[in-house]
Amino acid sequence: MSKSIAVIGDRFMLPSMFAEHIRAACGNGVDIRTLEQPWPDEPMEHGYAGSKLDGLKEFMGQPDEIVDFIGDAELLVTHLAPISRSMLERLPKLRFIAVSRGGPVNIDMQAARDHNVLVVNTPGRNASAVAEFTIGAILAETRLIRSGHEALRGGEWRGDLYRADRTGRELGEMTVGIVGYGAIGSRVVKLLKAFGCRILVADPYVQLSAQDRNDGVEHVALGELLGRADVITLHARVTPETTHFIGRDALARIKPGAFLINTARGPLVDYEALHDALASGHLGGAMLDTFAVEPVPVDWPLLRLPNVTLTPHIAGASVRTVTVAAEQAAEEVRRFLAGEPPRNPC
């Protein structure tokens, strides 16, 4: 008897890609049905300021519609569909959920455990994409790429950007601080080595690899990193400990003229305090790809500052990210159906 698998993707994590890789991994003995959600053309729910679904974050879809689609399926593969406790109570046959993202914030993990539902994820699926984007973000700020582009598009030739007292600095003469040393942060470290810069890492929960230690990467406390780094790039997860941990006190400790890069998550930063630090000139600039509220309001004060580069949460978006996540999810499905232990249980 074939196993029933519900696949809920979207216009980034294509359901057809999931289905293709599941069939390649598992053969034809599976019954797959797919649903495509409209993200990213339509925004997801964020839930950081209060969630209507039992505290779930970063999800898309109405519970009744999701439950009706899953129906009697034993396995669910999804990107953004929420699974709350009340939804699980209506899905008695569901035994397995694969979430194609690094953190299953759209799943009630305690409820899944209580209902004996295995949840797996796809850690590192977009690590390469975010790390490469981060390097681009750093260069856009430190080498005045954004400043020059905006001026020229506005009809102004900024010859002053070549002046010695105004022009940018090379990474090889700078100190870069990486906050968070997981799959993305460690890859940023690897890419930065080619530039010859000094590299600091702050993460109290992990140790540096032997290679990074041998290459001169320093493992320091957050306070020391803030005071020494010319560029600070964030790669931590949102937890009660890290929510707004880049606030007024932290920003005041950053050396004058330094740059802040956030390609991680918006709630890590107190954006009102960041606005003040940028407007006062204490920070030289910032590059922000993620926000506490998405889409950002059109009247958001940070949009009006001249020393900020803003992008609409696209650091992790690459074709390779889709392929890697689909391959990992399909392998987890195969292992579950074969009775093998999962590679990435949550």
With beta carbons less than 8 A apart as the criterion, state whether 76 and 66 touch. Answer: no
DSSP secondary structure code for residue 41 in this structure = T
Catalytic residue (choose from 79, 125, 235, 313)? 313
Q: What span, in angstroms and rounded, lies between the C-alpha atoms of 273 and 136?
A: 25
> How far, in Å, are 48, 151, 307, 338 from residue 294 at the CA level?
11, 27, 21, 40
Q: Is 21 a catalytic residue?
A: no
Q: What span, in angstroms and rounded, lies between the C-alpha atoms of 14 and 333?
A: 17
**In this structure, what token pair is assigned to residue 185?**
């942060």
Q: How many CB atoms lie within 10 A of CB 196?
A: 12
Amino acid at 76: L
Q: Is 313 a catalytic residue?
A: yes
DSSP secondary structure code for residue 2 in this structure = P
With beta carbons less than 8 A apart as the criterion, state whether 238 and 265 touch. Answer: yes
Q: Is the peptide bond before 40 cis (omega within 30 degrees of 0)?
A: yes
Task: List the alpha helices (DSSP H) in 143-269.
Answer: 145-153, 183-192, 210-214, 222-228, 248-253
DSSP secondary structure code for residue 58 in this structure = S
With CA atoms as reference, report the closest residue to 184 among 239, 240, 237.
Answer: 237
Catalytic residue (choose from 146, 265, 331, 332)? 265
CA atoms within 13 A on the CB side of 235: 32
Catalytic residue (choose from 20, 218, 224, 294)? 294
With CA atoms as reference, report the closest residue to 138 among 208, 205, 218, 194.
Answer: 194
Amino acid at 48: Y
Backbone angles phi, psi at 195, to 5 degrees: -85, -10
Q: Is the dihedral of CA 252, 254, 255, 256 positive or negative?
A: negative
**DSSP assignment of 234-250:** E-PPP-TTTTT-BSHHH
Q: Is 294 a catalytic residue?
A: yes
Catalytic residue positions?
Answer: 265, 294, 313
